[in-house]
């Protein structure tokens, strides 16, 4: 029987279960799939400044064995034969790992990161290293151009930024250049590009996914996660990359099993939110779209409870911890003068200034962090999840420096103010899903849960995506 032909426009944005079914039914071969996505990433990746290094030829050499497995019905799991991209702070053996920065442009490691090796074991195929903000934004940066590949461009409108620091991962998934990508987050670096690019981004609980083989920025905050088209796609990848690793001192030594059959019904959940987060905190042009998004959340039937975050200085606390730990990681790099080769002067200045933090500053921040974690344990005794807008503004322009001042926000606080920083300080799982469009650019909804409750977070996101179609809308492709 002749193979059924797949529509290329459908294939580019197909979810992982759809690709898996096509491979198992032999509607397409792994070789053809790698060729299809490989051509897209090599042709369109540079258009968005998303491609750091192509691994297509390397992946192509592995397709023969994988196709033989499908022919013999030796099925390993849903990621078998699926191409993907990895943020360029994750090492892939024998290939450059630049950390998005000129001083590391020729850096090569002999061993792949643990997450890459785990996906190798599932027979997923890494076809690209994806661009990022240099050194994952350590020290702070003032424009989208703070990257070895240039400013990450948003596939919805290339005049705008794709978001940092996992800029290439967000753009590549949004443009259908890879079915999924790995990213990292210290304080918003998965949620932001996923939101700006209109894709789904999952940040796991701290310690659930090994960081061995990833560039360190902040040992007590760094996390590896997933950007994909759907919440279910993120879950399928997390199932395979989570787990203990003795090579990562921060490993929680826990696994994640995607178990949708055991989800609690949405109507049984208490969901914390604040009306002001949707009506007054976002920039004014975004408010009607967020009002519609909140109505869609409420229609899911959960018990919605007005909530507020505990009152702490989240920004200064997380800033002190990141800067102090980054100073330790990059001390020799800064003192040697190599730091002056970075693209962004404010980042250079920020990294140099990080050396001035004292042990007292760091320990004070860590003590407040412990208080924040205790306060969130109390908060999650009353709610099962927190929901809020992911970002309150549309992305900045990619060709000019970021605005120096933030828009004026309300004095009254709900959930959204500080949620990204607070949830990272507490190591909490979060997911962002597309929830609307403003001026042709996506906006996002973030869902945050207690530690190691990824299934709960994913279930709520999946329910939202089952009742909306924002995640099925895709940008015009160059």
The residues that are catalytic are 87, 165, 189
CA distances, 170 to each of 199, 201, 431 (Å): 7, 9, 14
Residue that is written with structure tokens 């703070």 in the block: 146
Q: Is the Cβ–Cβ distance between 123 and 76 less than 8 Å?
A: yes
Nearest-CA neighbor of 51 among 133, 153, 180, 172? 172
Q: Is the Cβ–Cβ distance between 270 and 383 less than 8 Å?
A: yes
Q: What is the DSSP letter of 72?
A: T
Angle (nearest 5°) at CA 369 between 366 and 374: 135
CA distance 407 to 385: 28
| Strand pairing report for 83-87 and 153-154 | unpaired
From CA 49, how far away is CA 47, in angstroms rounded?
6
Question: Which phi and psi angles does 259 have, rounded to 5°?
Answer: -130, 70
53-59: list long-range contacts, CB under 8 Å, 24+ apart: 53/88, 53/95, 53/96, 53/98, 53/128, 53/129, 54/127, 54/128, 55/92, 55/95, 55/126, 55/127, 55/128, 55/129, 56/127, 56/128, 58/95, 59/34, 59/83, 59/125, 59/126, 59/127
DSSP label at 77?
-
Q: How far apart are CA 475 and CA 384, in angstroms?
A: 34
Output the six-digit token pair for 132: 């990022």
List the structure tokens of 277. Answer: 């987060």
Quote the CA–CA distance of 197 and 280 in Å, as a whole number: 23
Give the three-state DSSP class for 384: coil
């Amino acid at each position: 029987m002749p193979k059924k032909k797949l529509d290329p426009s459908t294939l580019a944005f197909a979810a992982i279960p759809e690709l898996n079914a096509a491979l198992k039914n032999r509607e397409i071969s792994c070789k053809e799939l790698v060729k299809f996505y490989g051509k897209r990433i090599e042709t369109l990746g540079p258009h968005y400044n998303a491609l750091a290094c192509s691994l297509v030829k390397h992946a192509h050499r592995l397709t023969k064995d994988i196709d033989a497995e499908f022919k013999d019905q030796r099925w390993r799991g849903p990621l078998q034969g699926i191409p993907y991209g990895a943020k360029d702070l994750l090492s892939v053996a024998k290939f450059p790992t630049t950390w998005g920065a000129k001083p590391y442009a020729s850096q090569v490691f002999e061993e792949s990161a643990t997450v890459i090796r785990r996906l190798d074991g599932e027979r997923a195929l890494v076809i690209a290293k994806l661009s990022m903000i240099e050194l994952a934004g350590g020290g702070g940066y003032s424009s989208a151009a703070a990257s070895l590949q240039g400013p990450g461009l948003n596939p919805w409108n290339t005049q705008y930024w794709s978001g940092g620091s996992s800029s290439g991962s967000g753009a590549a998934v949004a443009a259908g250049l890879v079915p999924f990508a790995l990213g990292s987050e210290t304080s918003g670096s998965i949620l932001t590009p996923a939101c700006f690019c209109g894709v789904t981004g999952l940040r796991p609980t701290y310690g659930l996914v090994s960081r061995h083989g990833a560039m360190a920025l902040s040992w007590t905050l760094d996390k590896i996660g997933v950007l994909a088209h759907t919440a279910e796609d993120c879950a399928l990848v997390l199932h395979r990359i989570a787990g203990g690793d003795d090579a990562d001192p921060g490993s929680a030594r826990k696994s994640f099993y995607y178990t949708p059959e055991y989800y609690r019904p949405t109507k049984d959940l208490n969901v914390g939110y604040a009306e002001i987060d949707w009506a007054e905190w976002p920039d004014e042009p975004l408010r009607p779209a967020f009002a519609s998004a909140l109505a869609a959340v409420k229609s899911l039937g959960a018990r919605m409870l007005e909530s507020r975050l505990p009152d702490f200085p989240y920004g200064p606390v997380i800033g002190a911890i990141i800067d102090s730990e980054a100073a330790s990681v990059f001390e020799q790099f800064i003192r040697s003068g190599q730091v002056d080769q970075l693209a962004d002067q404010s980042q250079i200045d920020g990294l140099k200034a990080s050396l001035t933090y004292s042990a007292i500053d760091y320990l004070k921040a860590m003590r407040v962090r412990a208080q924040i974690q205790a306060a969130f344990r109390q908060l999650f005794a009353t709610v099962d999840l927190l929901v809020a807008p992911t970002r309150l503004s549309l992305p900045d322009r990619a060709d000019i420096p970021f605005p120096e001042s933030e828009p004026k926000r309300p004095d009254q606080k709900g959930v959204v103010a500080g949620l990204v920083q607070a949830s990272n300080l507490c190591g909490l799982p979060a997911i962002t899903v597309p929830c609307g469009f403003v001026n042709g650019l996506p906006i996002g909804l973030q869902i945050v849960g207690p530690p190691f409750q990824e299934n709960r977070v994913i279930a709520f996101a999946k329910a939202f995506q089952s009742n909306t179609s924002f995640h099925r809308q895709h940008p015009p492709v160059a």
